[in-house]
Structures are given as C-alpha cells and as structure tokens.
Amino acid sequence: MVIGIDFGTTFSGAVWATAADLKSNQVNLITDWPGTDEEDAKAPTELFYEDDKVLWGYEIPADADPIRWFKLLLLKDEDLHKNLKSSELLLRARRMLRENGKTAIDLISDYLRLLWQHILESIHKVYGEPVVDAMPFHVVLTVPAIWKNYARQGMQRAAKAAGILDHRPAGPTKLSFAPEPEAAAMSTFCEPNCRAKPGEVYVICDAGGGTVDLISYKIDRVDPVAMKEAVVGTGGLYGAIFVDEAFESICKARLGRSWDHLSKAGIKEIMKGDWEQIIKARFKPGNANKEYIIRIPVEAFANSSQDDTSRKPFIKYGCIHFGSDDIQKAFAQVFEGIKRLITAQINEVKSQRLTVSKIILVGGLGSSPYLYECLKQKYARSNITVVQPGGIRPRAAICIGAVIKGFLEDRGREDRGGEDRANALIRVSSTISRENIGVVSNWPFDPEVHDIRDKFFDNRENEWKAKGQMDWFIKRGDNVATNEPVSHSFYQLFGRSEYTRKFTRELYQCGNQEPPSRFGPQMKKLCKITVNLNVDYSQLEDFTNPVTGQRLEILMYNLELRSSEASAEFAVVVNGNRLGAKNVDMAFL
C-alpha cells in the first residue's frame, strides 16, 4: 500500500491505494475528519495545546488561538522571503513555539502523529486491522520544490517522531519525498481527458496555501506518457495565506476601532465563514454592481452603530457590503507575483527553443476561478491554453500524484501490479538540477589551469598540488536521469595511528549559473557525510612514497549521488559494496 500525504502550510490531506486500486484507476481520498460532519479533501494544518491534550484540524474550538504556519518554521531565516519574516502569523507561530517549549520539528511531529492515526483508522475501516497489518507500507510525503535538503531532513525526523516509521508486522515502512509540483503533474497527466502530445511543454502551477511552485515538463512520448523536466523549476511565496492577510487588512481598515472589539473567535468567524467558504473560493470579477457581503460578529459594534454609510464599502445591519473592486485588491499582489513567476518560467522555456502549450493549475488557490481568468486573459495571445481541472482534483492532485510516484519507486516488490500500472500511466525520465553540488578536493597542480595561490607540495604523495578545488558532481541546469546515480571515485591515505575506521566528507552547493572552479564564500555546506567502515587497517591497499619510502595504506571509495527534485541522496561504495544507513550518517546543514 502506498500512502500519499500532502502536509501543507494551511491545509493537509491524504490518499492511499493498493496495487489493485491503482490497476483499476481507483484511489482512496480521505474526506471525513474529526471535529466536523462536512466532507472535505483536506483538514486545517493547525494545532492547539490545552492542558495535556493536543487538538488538531477541525477539532480546535472557534474561540481558541491555534498555532498555524508551523511548517514554515522549518526554514532558516535566510531562506524566508523578506515579507514573510515580518508576517504577523509567522511571528505569532514563533511566539507560540517559545510559549509551549516546542521546536518546529516537535509541532510537525505532533500534527503528523494525529494525522497518521486518522489515516490508519480510515484504512482499517475498509480492510480491517489484520489485513492492513500484513501490507507493507510506502509513505510519500510531499514537500515544496523550493525547499532545501535540511528542511526535508527535518520533515524526515518529524515523520519518524510521529510514529509513521514504527515497527509493523509487515516489515519496515518505506518513507520517501515528492516535490509538490511533480506530484501534481503526475496526477494531471494521468487524467483520462488529458491528451498530451509529443514535443509539447506543460507548465504545472501548484498554487497552495503558502507557496506557489512551478515545474515545466516536455512530453517525449504518450501512451504511456514519458516526460522530462524542461527547465529549472521555480517557486515563490504567493500562496492563499497572503490573500487572506490582504483581505483581513481590508476588513480591519474599514472597521477601524470596531475591529479591536473582536475576539479571536470573531475574527475566525469572518475569515473562515463568508470569505473562506464562499467569496475567496468563487470570486470572479465581471459584475461591477454585485455586492459581496461579509457578516461581522455583533461584538465588534459594542459601542457603535451597526450601520455606517458615510463611505464605501457601506456597513449595513452589521455586514460589510464589498464591491468587486474591493475584493480584487485582496488578490492583486499575490496574483501579480504568480504571473511574474509563470512569465519567467515561460521565457526560460523559450530560451531552450521550446514552446509552452498549456499552463495547468492545481492546489487550493489553483482552483480559484479568478486566477484562471487572470491567466487566461494574460496569455490569450500567446496560444497558451490555461487548464483548471474540475471536481476535487485541484485540491487532491498532489496526494494522488504522490501515490503514483510511490508505486513508480517501488521496483523490486513481489507484487509489481501498482508499479506496472504507474509505468503504464506516466514516467519521468529526468529532472533539471537547481544547484551545483560537489566536494572540495586537491588536484595535481597544472599551471595552465590552477591559481598559483593554491599551489602546495604534498609530502605524502611527493607532488605539487592545487588545494581547494571544486569537484562538481552535478552542475546547475544539468539534465539528471532519475534512475542513474552520478558516481565519483576518491581515495584517502592513512597511517596506522590515524585510521579509526571512520572518515568524513563535506559536500557543498552553489546556485551560480557557472560554478567556480575554486572554493569560495559563495559555497554553502549542503551536508556532512560520516562513514563507519567494517574494514581493518590490514585490508587496505599498500601505498609507498616513491621518494621517502614512507608506507601508508590507501582507502579507495566511490561517492554516488542520486538527485531528484525532492532530495539529494548519497551512497558510499567501498570495495564494490554499497554501505547501508547503519554505516553512513548524513547530516544536512
């Protein structure tokens, strides 16, 4: 069984499927949630701590002040947009973090634990606990494409702390990650009415709660669909939460001092009621005379009249009567940001002498009819079709795609039905690297290549070398095959007293278009790999200095990098043996 979990900034959801389900083109979307009788594809990503209880999602009382946005707390300040750093909701989340004595990983693991329990209960209702216990699990967690590896590793730690990887009778649970736009693409291209054509390029725009991620795929063939990433994907902080913030500011400005009389429950009633359920989800400009009514809790008017027609938008009987222009202001800045991202992505595709055929909208904000109209109008003269899947697909697309990706990864299982079905639907052959990834090495000195400042004499090997040279595994913009690791050979010399059966290597990343040949301040540490060897000193190969006669031992090994949009995975190979997780510790920095 593969379980896809879309842990979002504002809402989270889950889908699960067995190989038999996928064969019949059927997946199981969770739509019932604790704390509500209404069906929904997702539950709020919110937590509330009350005494010894932890409440989540729809369970949280209306008058409570829950912790929101805690997914973004995984990111370092340097990786946050400047506007997000000063956001009231994020500052509040950080404050609650301190007040509850929690870390970001604690909060995420608490939420994932409750979500995971609900997922298991939902699956048990269908199959019964004994049958489920006999099924191997593969859990695929989706992550924003713009996230760095350290944040993904934080998610991995949170998933483990949440109990997702706990021992099961069927064996260990496999955990992997999928970039949100790639998962959305897989779901979209598997739709029966999606008629892809070879040579076409599709831009997938995943507009979610906190981030907007873009990824562009070139279709190599159809039936089944085989595609590869056309250019480096991009993303930005233009999600639905920023539309909500803008609308809240509009309401606050109109109510003035009356806003200060609102309780937390009152503000939540405004934002989760008429705005969230009706106006934001359905708004489409066009009728200048139409009014959009927001009911204001009576507590706001404790010392004033419930009517104010002195200026627009009018307040009548405790309701603000917004016009179309007022509502458009809430979307304006976010939608302009999305359009800039998409235009930049299209231009990048054009630079590769390719042409974008379609823009496909998915995600919660991606289902906005206003966003659809904005993009349709903007690209009307470009012969680019804007597509917005109907039904639950926009909100569940990422979960569904995560399940498909999980089956594609499950090669070698005894029951290959799910993988065969996934392969029959779609296959991603390659991705584009967003970063330069490499190690620092010393190379034999070449005066025509190396800087004289890097020259030094290596007494052990009795030759002149250049220190601090970058050995790049993958360069930014490289087309990386998804199933083929990149391997580089290295060696290290040891004296008997130096050999501890352990060595470390640090890997670096750099976002420069042209990666530098020398180590410099633009390099950032990606991760530190610590390798524990099951090799005695006597088993190493002999090395003798040709001049001094000094005898050392040499360890030969390979570093393998398998890069995808979701993560960079490294393996160490010694004497032809690939070392497992118990021998290799990888810490992303």
Judge contact between 391 and 303, C-beta under 8 A. no
Per DSSP, what are the bridge partners of residue 322? 292
> Are residue 251 and residue 167 in the same domain, yes or no?
no
The C-alpha atoms of residue 502 and residue 500 are separated, in whole angstroms, by: 5
Contacts of 316 (CB under 8 A, 6+ apart): 306, 307, 309
Show the domain range for 36: 2-182+395-429
Q: 212 in a domain, yes or no?
A: no
In a domain, 526, yes or no: yes
SS3 annotation, 303-352: CCCCCECCCCCCEECCEEEECHHHHHHHHHHHHHHHHHHHHHHHHHHHHC
Q: What percent of the chain has pLDDT over 70?
A: 93
Q: Which residues pair with 553 in a beta bridge?
A: 494, 542
Residues ≥6 apart with Cβ < 8 Å to 47: 54, 55, 56, 60, 66, 67, 70, 107, 110, 111
Task: Label residue 541 exposed, middle or buried (CB < 10 Å: 0-12, 13-18, 19+).
Answer: exposed
Strand order in the sheet with 463-474: 455-458, 463-474, 436-444, 502-510, 524-532, 584-588
Whether residue 111 is found in the same domain as residue 17: yes
CA distances 583 to 57, 351, 529, 530, 535, Å, are 39, 44, 10, 8, 12
Strand-pair category, 319-322 with 292-295: antiparallel
Decide if 178 is inside a domain: yes
Q: Which residues contact 218 (CB under 8 A, 6 or more apart)?
A: 199, 200, 201, 227, 228, 229, 230, 354
| pLDDT tens string 48-79 | 998 889 999 999 998 888 888 899 888 888 77
Measured between its terminal Cα atoms, the distance across the chain in Å is 33
Residue 491 inside a domain? The answer is yes
Beta bridge pairs of residue 527? 507, 588
DSSP string, 466-482: EEEEEEEEE-TT-EEET
301 and 171: one domain? no
Contact assessment for residue 380 and residue 366, using Cβ atoms and an 8 Å cutoff: no
Element (H, E) at 569: strand 568-574
Looking at the structure, tell me whether residues 414 and 493 fall in a common domain.
no
DSSP 118-133: HHHHHHHHHH-HHHHH
Convert 233-257 to b/e letters by CB count within 10 Å (16 or more is b). Answer: bbbbbbbbbbbbbebbebbeebbee
Q: CB count, 10 Å around CB of 581?
A: 8
249-278 tens-digit pLDDT: 999 999 999 999 999 889 988 998 889 888
Q: Which of 21-25, 371-375, 492-496, 564-568 has the highest mean pLDDT?
A: 371-375
Instruction: Identify the domain boundary among 429, 445, 479.
Output: 429
Name the residue with higher pLDDT: 208 or 283: 283
- Same-domain check for residues 244 and 105: no
User: Is 222 part of any domain?
Assistant: no
pLDDT tens figures, 79-110 = 776 667 777 777 888 888 888 888 999 999 99
425 and 446 share one domain: no
The answer to whether 202 touches 357, Cβ cutoff 8 Å, is: yes
Other Cβ atoms closer than 10 A to 363: 29
CATH number at residue 35: 3.30.420.40
**Quick one: 27 and 117 in the same domain?**
yes
C-alpha–C-alpha distance, residues 215 and 228, integer Å = 10
Looking at the fold, whether 281 and 174 belong to one and the same domain comes out as: no
Select from 79, 97, 147, 364 the least CA-distant residue to 241. Answer: 364
pLDDT tens, position by position, 459-516: 999 999 999 999 998 888 887 776 677 888 889 899 888 899 888 999 998 888 889 9
The predicted structure's pLDDT at residue 18: 92
Spatial separation of the C-alpha atoms in residues 559 and 584, rounded to whole Å: 11
Give the whole-angstrom CA distance, residue 79 versus residue 12: 22
Please give the pLDDT value at position 335: 96
Predicted structure pTM score: 0.79
**Residue 132 CA: distances (Å) to CA of 122, 168, 377:** 11, 10, 49
Asked if residue 260 belongs to a domain, the reply is yes
Q: What's the whole-number average pLDDT of the chain? A: 87
117-135 pLDDT per residue, tens:
999 999 999 999 999 999 9
Q: Looking at the predicted structure, is the pLDDT value of residue 412 above 70? A: no
- 47 and 151: one domain? yes
φ/ψ bin of 2: left (φ > 0), alpha (ψ from -120 to 50), beta (otherwise): beta
Which of the listed residues 310, 331, 352 is the one where a domain comes to its end? 331
Q: How far apart are alpha carbons 298 and 150 in whole angstroms?
A: 47
Pairing of strands 486-494, 53-56: unpaired
Residue where a domain stops, chosen among 307, 331, 355: 331
Q: Do 72 and 112 lie in a common domain?
A: yes
The predicted model gives 136-159 an average pLDDT of 89
Token pair in block for residue 539: 């088993």
436-444 and 486-494 strand pairing = unpaired
* Structural domains of the chain, count: 3
Provide the CA 225 distance to its chain's centre, in angstroms.
23
Candidates 14, 24, 21; CA nearest to 45 is 14
Q: Torsion angle, CA of 346/350/352/356, rounded to 10 degrees? A: 60
Residue 519 has pLDDT above 50, yes or no: yes
Q: Hey, how many other C-beta atoms are within 10 angstroms of the C-beta on 392?
A: 17
416 and 476: one domain?
no
Average pLDDT over residues 295-314: 91
Q: What is the largest CA-CA distance in the chain?
A: 97
Rounded to 5°, the CA angle 238-241-247 comes to 105
- Residue 125 lies inside a defined structural domain of this protein: yes
**400 in any annotated domain:** yes
Residue with tokens 């260990």: 172
One domain, residues 446 and 417: no
Q: How far apart are CA 403 and CA 156, in angstroms?
A: 18
